[in-house]
C-alpha cells in the first residue's frame, strides 16, 4: 500500500502538534510519533480502522483510533489517503 496525506491532514497534524507543544513540548513530540506510528500500520493493515457509516462508501472510508486521536482515511486500490486527523473531542467535519 502507498500512503499519502491530504493538505488538510498535514494542517491538522501541524495544528495539533503546535497546540500541545505550547503546553508541553515533550508530550507534543511523543504524541506526534504515536500518531505517525499508528497511521504507518495502514501500509500493512488498510482495513484496521472502523467504517464511517455516514460515508458514501463506508467500507472504503474509515476512522483509525490512535489513543485520543482519530485519523480518517480513504482506501482506493493500492493506496491509502489520510484525509483528516482530529483529537476525539474536536468537532469532525
Domains of the chain, with CATH numbers? 2-87 (3.30.2310.20)
Is the confidence at residue 92, as pLDDT, over 70?
no
Residue 13: the pLDDT is: 96
Q: Which pLDDT does position 89 carry in this prediction?
A: 87
CB distance 78 to 90 below 8 Å: no
The Cα 66–Cα 15 span in angstroms is 17
Report how far residue 27's alpha carbon sits from residue 17's, in angstroms, rounded to the nearest whole number: 9
pLDDT of residue 14: 95
Q: What is the mean pLDDT of residues 57-67?
A: 95
Note the pLDDT tens digit of each residue in 73-89: 999 999 999 999 999 98
- With 70 as the cut, is the pLDDT of residue 34 above it? yes
Q: Note the pLDDT of residue 93.
A: 58
Amino acid at each position: 500500500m502507498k500512503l499519502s496525506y491530504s493538505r488538510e491532514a498535514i494542517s491538522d497534524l501541524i495544528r495539533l502538534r503546535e497546540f500541545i507543544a505550547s503546553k508541553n513540548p515533550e508530550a507534543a513530540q511523543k504524541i506526534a510519533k504515536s500518531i505517525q506510528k499508528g497511521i504507518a500500520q495502514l501500509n500493512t493493515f488498510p482495513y484496521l480502522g472502523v467504517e464511517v457509516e455516514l460515508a458514501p462508501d463506508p467500507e472504503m472510508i474509515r476512522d483509525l483510533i490512535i489513543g485520543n486521536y482519530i485519523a480518517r482515511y480513504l482506501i482506493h486500490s493500492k493506496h491509502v489517503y489520510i484525509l483528516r486527523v482530529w483529537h476525539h473531542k474536536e468537532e469532525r467535519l
